[in-house]
Amino acid sequence: MGIFGLGSHKRTRAEGRAEPQLFSDRRRPTGGHKLQRRRKPLFFRFVAWGVMLCLWGLIALAGLTVYVWFSLDQQGLFRVPEREPGMILMASNGEVIAERGTFFGDEIRLDEVPPYVPQAVMAIEDRRFYRHFGVDPVGLARAAVSNFRAGHVVEGGSTITQQLAKNLFLKPERTMQRKLQEVVLALWLEAKYTKDDILQLYLNRVYYGAGAIGIEKAAQKYFRKSARDVTLGEAAILAGVLKAPATYNPINHPKAARARAADVIRDMAGAGFITPTEADEALNRPATAKPVEYISASHYLVDWVAEQIPDLIGKLDQSIIVETTLDQNLQRIAEKAVRQRVIKEGSKLNVSQGAAVVLDMRGAVLAMVGGKSYIRSQFNRAVKARRQPGSSFKPFVYLTALDQGMTPDSIAVDEPVRIGDWEPENYKRKYLGRVSLKKAMALSLNTVAAKLAVEVGPANVITTAHRLGINSELVPNASIALGTSEVTLLEMTSAFAPFANGGAAVAPFVVTRIISRDGKIIYERHGGGLGRVVDTWQVGAMNTMLREVVRSGTGKRAQIEGQDVAGKTGTSQDYRDAWFLGYSPYLVCGVWVGNDNNSPTSKVTGGGLPASIWKDIMAPAHAGLDYSPLPGDYQTVAHRSVDQDGGLFGIFRDMLGRARERNADELDQFFDDFEDPTPRQRRQRISEELRKQRERR
């Protein structure tokens, strides 16, 4: 035995050293078998490995969470974003036209709605909302089992808090990183806010379809009532929409919405939120959406205002009150006129749309109708549609002719004409021979306008149109006389304003002042327009011609008893567009009708449906207004006695002073040499000189 009694020592032959012997000769295993150690059962080994893996998993998850947390913190996401700033738009009389966004914050508080409103959402979206910490392991497990059994995703495991985090902070991406960010943000929300706060935020921030964000807007959109007043069945529909707003929209998909609402009601009963009796009553009387069937056409103007806000005040970062020039009464008149005429006469005339704009003498937009129905189409045809104005563009040709020395009494020849490869034709191909410009304007003779455009120069016509307010790009060719370049109704209407206000160009506007919610003025319109662009004599000459359009020409339907009005009809190629632009000393109004797909109408002309709509708007707008003549002194000058001392010289100088610049020198010489002593001789000399001027032209 060794000294410890554990076995003897033997020396190896090679080294002569003692080798410890652990077993005595009697206990040494025989037969060459090795020692069999006692090992733990397999189950315990699995548990050990599982615990170890869980620990490492938790460590990894903690590290990942910390990483995500700090990455989110660097992005500045740990702050509930304010709602999109809202706008309240007010008419000129102080009435509220519309509200956009959220002006006063969240629309509802949790204690303002019936209990079954949030309960419906919890029942279908997150039944354990008040019992989890932002992430629900039980819900995740239940969803995993349901999805495994179905073979595809039928149930999500996201809690209301997670959904809120996704809506408030994150982009709609399906990535693991986004999911981890969602979890971290949900935990932060739960730590910072109460459950009621989170639920209230959720109800007011999620999307319910049809453009409605928040349950209050959704209730108004689908049921025309406040969320405070919805029934149990209506609350179930609103909760059901959340899973897929497009699929369960109760307006577009009523059957799917009712089926989803039935699931919500059964889940509410299963969760104990409502009694079985209440559930049966709600299932037996399902709610039906009652969408708004009419939205005022003033919303075309509201959209236009919203587009202008960045240019007026920069980025909208606070709620604002926008004061506008809109006249509510005139807006209703204009909307009714367009809507009723297009609906009543449109089908037989193959006209599906119409638009109208009314301005005052400063260019303030008093009424705007961008289409026959805003709820069916939000495209604003008064502002955004570029169409051929047809003959309503001719006043710019005639004004250019006045610039170059012609008068309303100047004679032109109405006859077939060929300009290059183009042969303009009159309506019904009738030609009148020698006519005055006034008559040619009144009857909208195409050949006269085309020849005038060539004579005065298409580029000069474009300059005139731009000077008066046309902003669209115009093509400098002879056909510009017949309005072949596309323009908008708003710019055409504003370009007629100088004829009505005495010669001043206007920039159409609608916003007069913008005030922040706390009362600070952040924008206020100043200035009096763009200045004079047409002199007094020319204004009178144009009004003489355009007045005749309404009195005896193509625009006779636009006559208003007791008022001095003028205007111009317009019909584009193949009758695709029909226009009437007209005015009084009080208002300017433009009307367009046609089709969005640019298909031809049934030969609708500007003197037909558009002129009728124009009168429907302008006649009641002028009710009670005194007669006032259109501005300009052409008639006074034209009828002045030629025998008055110096009168004829003044007339002649005014008329010929507008002649072409190339004739200026010889005209000055003519006046210097003119010494005939008698009125008769004066008239003869002037007549002869006018004849020579016409021949030279």
Which residues are catalytically annotated?
A: 125, 391
Q: Find where tokens 């169409």 sit.
A: 387
Concatenate the DSSP letters of all residues of 472-516 into one string: S----SGGGGGT-S-B-HHHHHHHHHHHHHTSB----B-EEEEEE
Return the amino acid letter for 474: L
Q: Which two tokens stand for residue 386?
A: 């570029």
Cβ(117)–Cβ(227) under 8 Å? yes
The 3-class secondary structure across 268-336, one letter per residue, is HHHCCCCCHHHHHHHHHCCCCCCCCCCCCCHHHHHHHHHHHHHHHHCCCCCCEEEEECCCHHHHHHHHH
Cβ(194)–Cβ(202) under 8 Å? no
Measured CA to CA, the distance from residue 121 to residue 85 in angstroms comes to 26
Q: Which two tokens stand for residue 294?
A: 């009419």
H-state helical runs in 379-431: 394-403
Cβ(558)–Cβ(550) under 8 Å? yes
At CA 238, angle to CA 237 and CA 242, rounded to 5?
Answer: 110
Q: Which residues pair with 88 in a beta bridge?
A: 99, 321
Among 155, 292, 303, 281, which Cα is nearest to 223's?
Answer: 292
Q: Which two tokens stand for residue 358?
A: 């009314």
Among 656, 645, 653, which Cα is nearest to 693's?
Answer: 656
The 3-class secondary structure across 632-682, one letter per residue, is CCHHHHHCCCCCCCCHHHHHHHHHHCCCCHHHHHHHHHHHHHCCCCCHHHH
Helix axes 536-552, 489-501, angle to 10 degrees: 110
Q: If you count them, how many residues does the chain have?
A: 697
Measured CA to CA, the distance from residue 668 to residue 674 in angstroms comes to 10
DSSP-derived letter for residue 83 is P
Among 508, 496, 589, 563, which Cα is nearest to 534's?
Answer: 496
Measured CA to CA, the distance from residue 122 to residue 106 in angstroms comes to 19
Cβ(529)–Cβ(548) under 8 Å? no
